[in-house]
Chain A
Amino acid sequence: MTGLQWDWTMVWEALPELLLGFVKVTLLVTIVGSAIAAVLGLVIAIARRSAPKPIAAVLTFIVNFIRMTPIVVQLLFAYYLLLELDPVTIGVIIFGIHYSTYMAEVYRAGIDAVPAGQWEATTALSMSPTRTWVAVVIPQALRSTIPALGNYVISMFKDTPFLIAITVTEMVRAALVFGGNHFTYIEAITTAGIIFLIASYPTSLLIGRLEKRLAFSN
């Protein structure tokens, strides 16, 4: 068998399963995972700045450890440790934790970019630390971080096929299963790739535009 043998009927047959995996897992894990990552990342960034030095150092080590080890291994680890939990839940938690370490760095850069005068002003007004963060620093830090956070949401989205490792049937696994059942992988896997492209490319264009607009208005 040589040459490309593309069968459109296979595409139509595989499409419902792929889209089901896409909506039920890929989108769900990306959305809930990024919500967790965005909140946890901010908590980590604030803790690293305000916690006592030894605690901040330990936190930094943990963050680096999570950042520098594969999400696949982290998924498998959590999967075997928490066998009673649903794999999709584990996926959401691990994706949230893994990407929170990246988002924490983004927040850190945003917080560092808040002019020192703003901090001094809060001291002059004898604001409490909580009020300083909530009313002065975070609103200013967030503005410049949003595009970079968006980029991590896209990479999280493109990482969701790693969930195959813990037997979650997201889009790519659905494509593999379909390919195995029909003795042809061409249509299903290619279609899965195209769906990724259709979903991620416009989003990254949008983020690029947002980045430019925020840069100009600063």
Chain B
Amino acid sequence: MGENIAALIGALPLVGEGVWITIQLTIGGALLALLIAIGLGLLARFENIVLRGIARAVIEFFRGTSLVVQLFWFFFVMPQIGVELPAMFVGILALGLNYGAYGAEVVRGSINSVPSGQWEATTALSMGSAQRMWRVIFPQAWALMIPSLTNLLIQLLKGTAIVSFITLADLTYATDKLRNSTDTFFAYGVSLIIYFVIAYALTLIMNALEVHAKHKLGRGESLREALSFRAPRSAGGKAGVS
């Protein structure tokens, strides 16, 4: 065990770089995925059949073909048709497109489940369609979609583990190198724990986002209240049974 720890400390710079690549891919991929999800999700609700058809085709295409196929397609095929892309860009692009397509369905579903009275109210107030979406409908849909987006974010993080096949030295790659100087069980144990910690941190951040989104809608406490150490409050706003 002592040897393992020593080897781990020796390999720490490598592992650190691997973690950094994994985090860059996760954040880059997630931001691209969110943009694509909102864009396609809104487009898939259009009445115009051409726009809606395009959105549906793109969503089904990127959901239906595997992430690995997309990653390899961008990495191996694009250079052959004359487009050379850096590996990090390819990784973020494939992750963003794949999970963006999944996210689009989440966005569409959440917008559809905003109560119809809210839509009617925006008509009664004669709001424009853009104003209606960004000031009334989307903030409510956003609170609804965060739990599903959290699941997708964790999936995306786990999806990054494949990028060592397109020459990126991510955490999985660093684990494989660490395995040369420690035993397998130790190297992979460390790696799995690091992935778990990243995933857990992402979940906490997303939970905080959810609390914040609900507070802005007037449902539930503010983030600062939720994070402070004190007795939980009952629904009536008074202190619980004392």
Residues of chain A within 8 A of B158, CB atoms compared: 68-72
Main secondary structure of the interface of B (DSSP, over half): helix
A186 at the interface (CB under 8 A from B): yes
Q: Is the pair B162, A190 in contact by a Cβ cutoff of 8 Å?
A: no
Question: If A161-B69, A164-B165, A196-B65 touch, does A201 touch B80 (CB 8 Å cutoff)?
Answer: no
Number of A-B residue pairs at CB separation under 8 A: 118
B165 to chain A, nearest CB (A): 7
0 or 1 for each of A31-67: is its CB under 8 Å from B? (1 = yes): 0000000000000000000000000000000000101
Closest Cβ neighbor of B71 among chain A residues: A161
B68 within 8 Å of A by Cβ? yes
Q: How big is the B interface, by class? A: 35 or more
Please pick, from B76, B81, B157, the residue contacting A2 in the complex, using a CB distance under 8 A: B81
Taking CB atoms and an 8 Å cut-off, the chain B residues in 182-213 that contact chain A are 184-185, 188, 191-192, 195-196, 199-200, 203
Q: Does A172 lie within 8 Å of B68, measured CB to CB?
A: yes
* A4 within 8 A of partner (CB): yes
Q: Please, which residue of chain A has its CB at the minimum distance from the CB of B64?
A: A197
Q: Which residue of A lies closest to B67 (CB)?
A: A158
- Contact, CB under 8 Å: B60 / A161: no
Query: Hey, what's the 0/1 contact readout for A67-88 against B, CB within 8 Å counting as 1?
Result: 1111111101100110000000
CB A187 to nearest CB in B, in angstroms, measures: 9
Residue A112 at the chain B interface, CB threshold 8 Å: no
Also in contact, A69 and B192, with CB within 8 A (given A4-B81, A189-B76): yes
13 more CB-based (< 8 A) A-B contacts, given A69-B199, A190-B77: A68-B199, A69-B158, A69-B196, A72-B172, A160-B66, A162-B68, A164-B165, A165-B162, A184-B80, A190-B73, A197-B64, A200-B63, A200-B64
Q: Which residues of A contact B (CB under 8 A)?
A: 1-5, 65, 67-74, 76-77, 80-81, 158-162, 164-165, 172, 175-176, 179, 184-186, 189-190, 192-194, 196-197, 200-201, 204
Interface positions of B (Cβ within 8 A of A): 60-61, 63-70, 72-73, 76-77, 80-82, 154, 157-162, 165, 172, 175-176, 179, 184-185, 188, 191-192, 195-196, 199-200, 203
